[in-house]
Homo-oligomer: A and B are copies of this chain.
Amino acid sequence: MNPFVFENPTKIRFGEGAVSALSDEIVRYGKTVLFLYGCGSIHKNGVYESVKKQLDRAGVTVIEHSGVQGNPRLSHAREGVELAKKHKVDLILAVGGGSVIDESKAIAAGALYDGDIWEFYAKTARITGALPIISVLTLPATASEMNGFSVLTNDETREKWALGAAPITNPRVSFLDPAATVTLSAEQSGFAAADIIAHCTEGYFTTSAKELLPQDEIIEGLVRSVAVSMDRIVKDPADIEARASLMWSATLGWNGIAQMGIPGMGLPCHALEMPLSGIYDIAHGAGLSIITPVWLAEMAEVHGERIIRFGERCLGVTGGGVPAVVMAMESLYRRIGAPLKLSEVGVFDIDIPRCTADAFEAFRLRGVTGYDEARISRIYSAIL
């Protein structure tokens, strides 16, 4: 048995039109709001309008900070910190996907810190306080709306690092309206699904002690939910019930519940993916669907039993061992539109020594053993 502490105070408001309660929540946290969003998709899906209406209704002062990119940048977050300090904002309103919410955590913590926010990511400083965050989610994938994690890319060095400061950096309230996700492209949805599946399975595959029975059941159930939802979304992108299932699966997949009691979550596929999205700026979910099948094949001897169980319970694989599970996983990714090779996302050359060095360092920092440079480099050699 592995002891654990679970604490997740984020309040979730889920459903069509959930945002109509946004002003009620905002006024509980203050009068000056930093309104953070991305590169304009919220202008297309109507979310910007409904959020603005709520901000007006709340009667708060609004400082807009737009332009958050996928793989959010340190420089943009630093600008947000400046704005938050200058205008003495009371809370951050993050409207978008995981990138926007991740960056909002950096700003929320940075606003109460005298040093530079990169110190939090480089682990030379610890977050001890943060402004309250309210999020309105438009792209379900990372569960950043219900956890304390944040990933930021240093634009100067291209290093991409993560931090976790739950519950300090958890959003106080997150609004999840599946209707806001029906305009997502097939590609965005497929990448998101690959990310959700990776969150669910990383610990599941690698753990040596899976004695807490509900955990395997929840993880397997979530993966099946994602697969069924995605099959429906591919057929009909406007299938709002399937969008709702995908959205709620994403939150449950990485809000901590499914991970409790799993020791030594090394997150190997995430560690191997981070150099890809960090260096080549590809979508994180795309990197994960590219890495995962190769990782499964590479780790067959170490994690074979768990991989085969997964194949049986989540992919309907009967017999054929790990190679059959790898094929079924590739087939799932193909079906949902997630890539299997770097070349499919426009990357035709890979700097294997550099990626290997970055991933090796990530494994070292997390204390994950079993990944020497030969193994890591073998994985990268197979993904072009």
Residues of chain A touching chain B, judged by Cβ–Cβ distance below 8 Å, are 1-18, 178, 211-215, 217-218, 220-222, 224-225, 228-229, 240-241, 244-245, 248-249, 252, 257, 260-261
- A252 surroundings in chain B (CB, below 8 A): 214, 218, 257
A248 to B218 Cα, complex, angstroms:
12
Q: Are A245 and B212 in contact (CB under 8 A)?
A: yes
A224 to B220 Cα, complex, angstroms:
13
Q: Are A217 and B211 in contact (CB under 8 A)?
A: no
CB distance from A159 to the nearest CB of B (A): 33
The chain B residue sitting closest to A215, CB to CB, is B248
Q: Are A222 and B229 in contact (CB under 8 A)?
A: no
- A1 surroundings in chain B (CB, below 8 A): 15-16, 178, 240-241, 244
Q: Are A245 and B211 in contact (CB under 8 A)?
A: yes
22 CB < 8 A contacts A-B: A1-B16, A1-B241, A3-B15, A3-B16, A4-B15, A5-B12, A6-B11, A6-B14, A7-B11, A9-B9, A14-B260, A211-B245, A212-B244, A213-B245, A214-B225, A214-B245, A214-B252, A217-B217, A217-B218, A217-B221, A218-B252, A257-B257
Q: Are B8 and A8 in contact (CB under 8 A)?
A: yes
Most buried by B among A16, A217, A257: A217
Partner of A221, one of B7, B221, B260, B261: B221
A215 to B212 Cα, complex, angstroms:
19
A6 to B193 Cα, complex, angstroms:
23
CB distance from A305 to the nearest CB of B (A): 17
A260 to B224 Cα, complex, angstroms:
18
CB distance from A154 to the nearest CB of B (A): 33
Q: A6-B12, A9-B9, A14-B5 are in contact. Are A213 and B240 (CB under 8 A)?
A: no
- A9 surroundings in chain B (CB, below 8 A): 7-9
The 10 closest A-B pairs by CB, nearest first: A3-B15, A217-B221, A7-B11, A213-B225, A213-B245, A9-B9, A211-B241, A6-B12, A214-B225, A214-B249
The chain B residue sitting closest to A247, CB to CB, is B212
The chain B residue sitting closest to A249, CB to CB, is B214
A1 to B221 Cα, complex, angstroms:
19
A245 to B15 Cα, complex, angstroms:
32
Partner of A229, one of B5, B213, B221: B213
Partner of A261, one of B7, B14, B214: B14
CB distance from A146 to the nearest CB of B (A): 9
CB distance from A97 to the nearest CB of B (A): 20
Most buried by B among A18, A229, A252: A252
- A8 surroundings in chain B (CB, below 8 A): 8-9
Q: A218-B221, A222-B217 are in contact. Are A212 and B16 (CB under 8 A)?
A: no
